[in-house]
Each structure stands twice: as structure tokens, then as C-alpha cells.
């Protein structure tokens, strides 16, 4: 069995923000494998976050980001208490989300925000592009293209711009903060403005 050094625990804690004992436990479970320990902590964070998902988030802040005086973003992110809303971690998350919106230009917050009519119209376009194939093949391709549509247009489904190699989605970033801060966090809405762009 691999010896878990204090430096390994410290590095994992700095990367995740999770408590020392949890980091040590994850490293022990993964036999000292740093990447596996990260996955273990993410899964635990996901479990914790799903328990908190139903809780009311009526506090929070409106954050902003301006890029070179050409693009401006306002984003409302909610949490459960004013205490968490004032923490550096929460404020950094809101800033990161605003910056992401400026760069990635999503249309919706989540896939649930996309109107059924728009989804059906997209499906019809995809079906017309692949006519002539067997029905089950067509439906599989349509579902794949629809997933791609969500990953391009929905903020929570987009790959977080600051972490492209790890394929961390914005929703995963939010889940990590829920696990770390211990409160439900919801991206409520955003507005993006670009000079010369029509609304």
C-alpha cells in the first residue's frame, strides 16, 4: 500500500478545497493515485450536491464582467445564505461564470430552458439531413446531434473555458462549489451585451 504523504494531502486540498481528512481518505481509497482521488472527491461532491439540489436558494449576488469595453455580462447566481454569498469562493465562481458567458456566448442557462418547439425544430433539421437511413439509426444520430446542440447553447452543458483539457462542464464546476460551500447554488439568469450586436 502506498504511503500517503502530507504533501500529497496538501496538494489535493489546494486543488479541490475539500477538508484534509476527506482528501487523505480519498488518497487512501485510490492507493495514492492523485487522479483517482480527484474522481472519488468529485463523485462524493456530486452525491452531496444532489442532496442539496432541492433546497431553496434565495440569496446570492449579481456579478459582472466587461471584456475590452466590447462585451459585457451580468449574471445572477443564487445560494442559500447571505454568509456564503459574501465568501471569496462564491464571488470567484460568479466572476468565472460571467467570464465564461462573455467567451462562450450561451443562449440558455440549462437544457430545461430550451422551448419544446425549438427542440422539435432542431430534430426536424437533423432528420432532413440524414434521410434514407433506418429509423433507429436516424433517431440515434438525432439524439447525438441534439446533445451537441445543448453543449453549444446551454451554459451548464458547456465546457468551462478555464479548464478545456479536463472537459469540466460549467455544471460540474457548480457541483464542486456546492460540495465545498455546503449550500445549493443555482445560476438563475444572465444577460450578454456586445457592441454592434442586435438584440
The DSSP secondary-structure symbol of 164 reads T
pLDDT for the residue numbered 65: 95
CATH class of the domain defined by 59-110+154-194: alpha beta
> In the chain, where are the structural domains located?
6-52, 59-110+154-194, 115-152
pLDDT for the residue numbered 88: 93
pLDDT in tens, the chain (199 residues): 567 888 887 887 777 666 677 778 888 888 888 888 877 777 666 555 555 555 666 789 999 999 999 999 999 999 988 899 999 999 999 999 999 999 999 999 999 999 999 999 988 888 888 877 777 788 888 888 999 999 999 999 999 998 877 778 999 889 888 888 888 899 999 999 999 876 5
The reply to whether CATH 1.10.10.10 applies to domain 6-52 is no
Contact 95, 103 (CB under 8 A): no
Amino acid at each position: 500500500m502506498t504511503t500517503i504523504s502530507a504533501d500529497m494531502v496538501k496538494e489535493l486540498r489546494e486543488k479541490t478545497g475539500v477538508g484534509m481528512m476527506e482528501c487523505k481518505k480519498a488518497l487512501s481509497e485510490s492507493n495514492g493515485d492523485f487522479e483517482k482521488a480527484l474522481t472519488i472527491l468529485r463523485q462524493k461532491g456530486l452525491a452531496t450536491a444532489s442532496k442539496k439540489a432541492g433546497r431553496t436558494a434565495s440569496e446570492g449576488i449579481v456579478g459582472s464582467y466587461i471584456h475590452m469595453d466590447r462585451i459585457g455580462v451580468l449574471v445572477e447566481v443564487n445560494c442559500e445564505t447571505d454568509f456564503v454569498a459574501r465568501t471569496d469562493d462564491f464571488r470567484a465562481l460568479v466572476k468565472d461564470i460571467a467570464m465564461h458567458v462573455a467567451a462562450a456566448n450561451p443562449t440558455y442557462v440549462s437544457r430545461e430552458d430550451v422551448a419544446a418547439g425549438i427542440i422539435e425544430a432542431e430534430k426536424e433539421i437533423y432528420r432532413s439531413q440524414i434521410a434514407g437511413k433506418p429509423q433507429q439509426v436516424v433517431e440515434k444520430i438525432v439524439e447525438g446531434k441534439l446533445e451537441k446542440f445543448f453543449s453549444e447553447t446551454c451554459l451548464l452543458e458547456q465546457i468551462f473555458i478555464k479548464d478545456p483539457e479536463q472537459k469540466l462542464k460549467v455544471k460540474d464546476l457548480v457541483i464542486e462549489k456546492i460540495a465545498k460551500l455546503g449550500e445549493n447554488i443555482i445560476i438563475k439568469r444572465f444577460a450578454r451585451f456586445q457592441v454592434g450586436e442586435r438584440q
